[in-house]
Amino acid sequence: MTAAAPLLQVRDLEVRFRAGGIDLPGLNVPGFGARYVNAVNRVSLSVAPGETIGIVGESGCGKSTLGRAILGLVETQGGEVRFAGDPVAPRDRTSIARLRARAAMIFQDPYASLNPKLDIGEAIAEVLRVHGKAAPDAIAARVAELLRLVGLSPELARRKPHQLSGGQCQRVGIARALAIEPSLIIADECVAALDVSIQAQILNLLMELQRRMSLSLVFISHDLGVVRHLCRRVAVMYLGRIVEIGLTEDVFAAPRHPYTRALLAAVPDIDPDRALAPAQLRGEPPSPLDLPAGCPFHPRCPHAQEICARGVVPELRRTGDIRVACHFDLPPMTQQGEDP
């Protein structure tokens, strides 16, 4: 870890969504009360200035919700977000405004995240105006500069989103995020909707910008290869919790949590002669409405023992350079896919 004070600090963050039921205080009829999904369950995370951190996990594990909760886009039910040392309170508009003036988000669907009625230049210029980032007569020049920065021709400024390709739209999304001159960017599956060749271009662009501007980057993805390529640290999420977090090379070389091992083993190999490792995970993740007692991973875990089903939810604890939420110190894996 670097000694610098963290730029972003998330402590015990909780996000709950109501999933049906009637929300009445004092209503205690079984089956009628409100039921909740813990989309993000006591997640703690810190990001140093200029650092890239990857957040990986299956669909529905809460990684996107975590990203949105950090920016105050969804209501949180507990925990704390601190940005540059200042607490960000969801109900305190000025703290949210302060945060959003220095932290931006890039979204998964490049088309849907742009207003279809506004042309590209206006979409970027509006950000500059709202945040007072350029004098009125300098806005057009700054828009052209930002477009060039993300590798687009300034002539595209008059186009509407539907006249651009997905990759171009995502570059516009990045340009718009950069317009606020952020110190933190949260990229939420920002290449998942793009062709592989375009993915590489966008990723290279992100890496280059991140280095040049010493941005902090929270990179949310289900693509382990991309995260390994891009991020210094990685956090693995399962059912709203972080189960393993550490330096990317450590986690990928010697994953400690059985879920991380299964995820890594499931990455298909490019070599067609090598057989795909037998699937390690049995079944689907349990319903987030009805989490199993104890470790939420135990119904699918090949190492599960009695303590996993009964005991408390394992907390993150340090083993070596990695922190992992598992009761056991599993022996290191010998090879990908082969677990003793």
Report in angstroms how near the CB of residue 74 gets to another protein at its nearest: 10
Q: Which of 5, 130, 135, 289 binds another protein (CB under 8 A)?
A: 130
Q: How many CB atoms lie within 10 A of CB 9?
A: 18
Task: Output the smallest distance, CB 199 to another protein, in A.
Answer: 19
Contact 103, 186 (CB under 8 A): yes
CB of 17 to another protein, least distance (A): 13
In the complex, what is the shortest distance from the CB of residue 226 to another protein, in angstroms, rounded to a whole number? Answer: 21
Q: Which stretch binds another protein (CB under 8 A): 108-116, 146-154, 220-228, 238-246?
A: 108-116
63 contacts another protein (rule: CB under 8 A): no
Q: What is the x/- site pattern for another protein, positions 87-106, by CB under 8 A?
A: ----------x--xx--xx-
According to DSSP, residue 328 is labeled S
172 vs 264 by CB, closer to another protein: 172
Q: Is the dihedral of CA 100, 16, 12, 216 positive or negative?
A: negative
Residue 246, helix vs strand vs coil: strand
Does residue 117 interact with another protein by CB under 8 A? yes
Q: Is residue 40 classed as helix, strand or coil in its secondary structure?
A: strand
Which phi and psi (to 5°) does residue 202 adopt?
-65, -40
When binding is defined by CB under 8 A, the residue of 71, 231, 242, 295 that contacts another protein is 71
Rg (C-alpha) for the chain, rounded Å, is 21
Contact between residue 40 and residue 242 where contact means Cβ atoms under 8 Å apart: no
Stretch that binds another protein, among 107-115, 206-214, 223-231, 312-320 (CB under 8 A): 107-115
In the complex, minimum distance from the CB of residue 37 to another protein, in angstroms, rounded to a whole number: 17
CB of 150 to another protein, least distance (A): 16
Angle between helices 120-130 and 166-179 (to 10 degrees): 20
Residue 136 interacts with another protein (CB under 8 A): yes or no: no
- Our CB check for another protein shows the closer of 17 and 328 to be 17
Taking the alpha carbons at both ends of the chain, their separation in whole angstroms is: 31
* Binding test (CB under 8 A) with another protein, winner from 7, 37, 43, 68: 68
Spatial neighbors of 302 by CB under 8 A, at least 6 apart, are 258, 280, 339
Which of residues 63, 171, 176, 233 is near another protein by CB under 8 A? Answer: 176
How many residues make contact with another protein (CB under 8 A)? 26
Does residue 219 belong to the site contacting another protein (CB under 8 A)?
Answer: no
H/E run at residue 148: helix 139-149
How far is the C-alpha of 27 from the C-alpha of 30, rounded, in Å?
9
- As a whole number of angstroms, the distance between CA 317 and CA 299 comes to 21
Chain positions contacting another protein, by CB under 8 A: 68, 71, 73, 97, 100-101, 104-105, 107-109, 112-118, 126-127, 130-131, 173, 176-177, 180
